[in-house]
Amino acid sequence: MWNGLTVSELSEYLAGEIPQSTLYSDMNELEEIGAVWVESDGQPTGYRARFFQAEAENIDKVGESGLVGPQIIGLIGEAFTDDAVQKFVETYGHSMLNDALQVYIGSLLGDLNRSFVEMFPEVETDDLEAIVPAIERILLEMSRDPRWGIDYRDSLSTPDVVEE
């Protein structure tokens, strides 16, 4: 039985880049807001992440589904540090960004009959290709989709899915 991720294991995974005292403090804060829960109370304490989705107040900004998954939250956050994502959002909107993300995931999973670029004739090819690195960063950071149990690491290490 898995007893959760410990702070020591997390520190080892992060190659000691973040002091354990900071990780303990961060885990306590995450527990307080409900983002993680204690999986085992023994020593050392094991934590398990909680999966959540936010419900959108303005559906037009995020797409028609009304649920905002963690990938799109991360990708919208990329707009603050990645000029290509910011330009894409300004030009095509959040809904199109979400569509591009979902179609890209579909292309990784082999669910498309056409290429990623061909799925968006209304979007400039250069604009689509420019956001792919940000999409891949988000998927690699997550590495595993907690809702569907999909692991993107293998798919992202295969040849480009952005073909014309």
Compute φ and ψ for 43, nearest 5 degrees. -100, 130
Give how many domains the chain has, as a whole number.
2
Tens-place pLDDT, residues 102-119: 899 888 888 888 888 999
Give the residue numbers spanning the domain of 78: 54-156
Q: Say if 98 falls within a structural domain.
A: yes
Helix, strand, coil share of the chain (percent; to 5): 50, 10, 40
Helix axes 125-142 and 83-92, enclosed angle (nearest 10):
120
Within-domain flag for 162: no
- Domain assignment present for residue 31? The answer is yes
For 5-41, the pLDDT digits (tens) are 788 887 887 777 788 888 888 888 878 877 777 877 7
Between the CA of residue 162 and those of 47, 94, 139, what are the distances in Å?
Answer: 37, 20, 15
Identify residue 72 by its one-letter amino acid code.
I
Whether residue 117 is contained in a domain is answered as yes
Q: Tell me: do 40 and 82 sit in the same domain.
A: no
Helix and strand numbers (H, E) in the chain are 8, 6
pTM of this prediction? 0.53
The answer on 115 and 35 residing in a single domain is: no
